[in-house]
């Protein structure tokens, strides 16, 4: 089993993660089970719900489910008048990292999620940001209650952005890297098909027997002699 996405450090680890990740999901679907359905059975168990959600990052739905679970943990601590600084920081981190993706990549002509999945988790986790830079207005998975908690704890930010806004250069680098990789894979696939196709010369050799010119010469000579005899008689 490969490392979870958030622990991947290299392109090789990320590639292996993607392969194992979708293989696992195909197996689960074949067994009639899907993580998004299974997680609903843990509505009253936020810790377990969070664990399952994190296992399925970087799926957009997994970010949303992780946020739901983290909110539940915050509510529990607020109810008991306990500090929830760590949980609030986790909620904000989830919203921030989720904002690095875009819905559609014009360069690839495919969902932006494909780019995110190709980026090692530790690379994405290492992208710097602050609350003053990101704010909250452009972070899609935050709701009104989240924003209220954030402003109570950290005040009003200076600006509002997405993580993609702050690190467009990183996004473009991985977008182009994925495009080159996909083009290379397409070319190798086409080349493999070409190598499998028989050449015209080979086809003709198997399709028709070789001509024996000497044999046909003798047959023609015999026919000529027979015709000559018939004519003379």
CA 39 to chain centre: 22
b/e sequence 159-185, b meaning 16+ C-beta within 10 Å: eebbbbbbbeebbeebbeebbeeeeee
Per-residue pLDDT of the chain (233 residues; tens, 9 = 90+): 577 898 999 999 999 999 998 898 888 788 777 888 889 889 899 999 999 999 999 999 999 999 999 999 999 999 999 999 999 999 999 999 999 999 999 999 999 999 999 999 999 999 999 999 999 999 999 999 999 999 999 999 999 999 999 999 999 999 999 999 999 988 888 888 877 766 555 544 444 445 455 554 455 445 444 444 444 44
Residue 51 lies in a domain: yes
64/101 Cα distance (integer angstroms): 14
Domains of the chain: total: 1
Domain with 112, as residue range(s), is: 5-195
Residue 129 lies in a domain: yes
Return phi, psi of residue 104, to 5°: -150, 135
Residue 68 lies in a domain: yes
Residue 133 lies in a domain: yes
Cis before residue 94, ω within 30 degrees of 0?
no
Residue 233 lies in a domain: no
Residue 207 lies in a domain: no
Residue 49 lies in a domain: yes
* DSSP per-residue codes, 87-117: HHHHHHHHHHHHTT--SEETTTTEETHHHHH
Residue 71 lies in a domain: yes
DSSP H helical ranges for the chain: 11-30, 35-38, 46-55, 60-79, 85-98, 113-118, 121-125, 131-134, 144-154, 163-166, 168-196, 200-207, 213-232
17/25 Cα distance (integer angstroms): 12
């Amino acid at each position: 089993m490969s490392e979870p996405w958030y622990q991947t450090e290299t392109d090789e680890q990320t590639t292996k993660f993607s392969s194992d990740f979708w293989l696992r999901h195909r197996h689960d679907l074949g067994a009639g089970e899907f993580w998004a359905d299974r997680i609903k059975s843990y509505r009253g168990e936020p810790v377990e719900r969070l664990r399952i959600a994190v296992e399925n990052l970087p799926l957009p739905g997994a970010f949303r489910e992780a946020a739901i679970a983290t909110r539940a943990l915050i509510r529990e601590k607020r109810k008991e008048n306990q500090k929830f600084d760590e949980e609030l920081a986790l909620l904000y981190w989830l919203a921030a990292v989720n904002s690095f993706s875009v819905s559609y990549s014009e360069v690839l002509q495919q969902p932006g999620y494909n780019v995110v999945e190709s980026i090692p988790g530790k690379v994405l986790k290492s992208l710097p940001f602050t609350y003053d830079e990101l704010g909250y207005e452009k972070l899609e998975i935050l709701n009104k209650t989240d924003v209220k908690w954030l402003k109570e704890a950290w005040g009003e930010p200076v600006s509002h952005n997405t993580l993609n806004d702050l690190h467009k250069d990183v996004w473009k680098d991985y977008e182009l890297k994925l495009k080159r990789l996909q083009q290379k894979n397409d070319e190798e696939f086409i080349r493999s098909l070409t190598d499998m196709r028989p050449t015209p010369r080979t086809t003709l050799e198997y399709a028709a027997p070789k001509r024996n010119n000497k044999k046909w010469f003798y047959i023609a000579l015999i026919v000529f002699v027979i015709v000559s005899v018939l004519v003379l008689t």
